Amino acid sequence: KVYKRFNAWSASGKWVKVLMTDPDMEWVFIDGSYAKAHQHSAGAASTQDQAIGKSRAGNTSKIHLAVDACGLPI
């Protein structure tokens, strides 16, 4: 999926537009990742909402990190 999307964006010129745009380096989100959760993490009895949900890969939680222009977490 990643290759197909990257290739389509490249063919349509979206990457050229993204790379030629003057970035606002105060707010940039570079990467996100999925953290695999234990199989029992979503089934515990609790009244609090959790950021763990079902997906094709099982119980996961998507994690993002916001950084400043120097790459330091904010």
**Cα–Cα–Cα angle for 20, 65, 32, nearest 5°?**
70
**pLDDT value at position 11?**
93
| Per-residue pLDDT reduced to its tens digit, 22-60 | 766 666 555 655 555 555 555 555 555 555 555 565 665
**pTM attached to this predicted model:** 0.31
Residue 67, burial from CB neighbour count under 10 angstroms (0-12, 13-18, 19+) = middle
Q: Is 33 within 8 Å of 60 (Cβ atoms)?
A: no
Domain boundaries, the chain: 23-74
Which is higher by pLDDT, 55 or 2?
2
Residue with token string 């990742």: 33
Which is higher by pLDDT, 21 or 74?
21
Residue 42, burial from CB neighbour count under 10 angstroms (0-12, 13-18, 19+) = middle
Residue 71: band (very low, low, confident or very high) from pLDDT cuts 50, 70, 90: confident
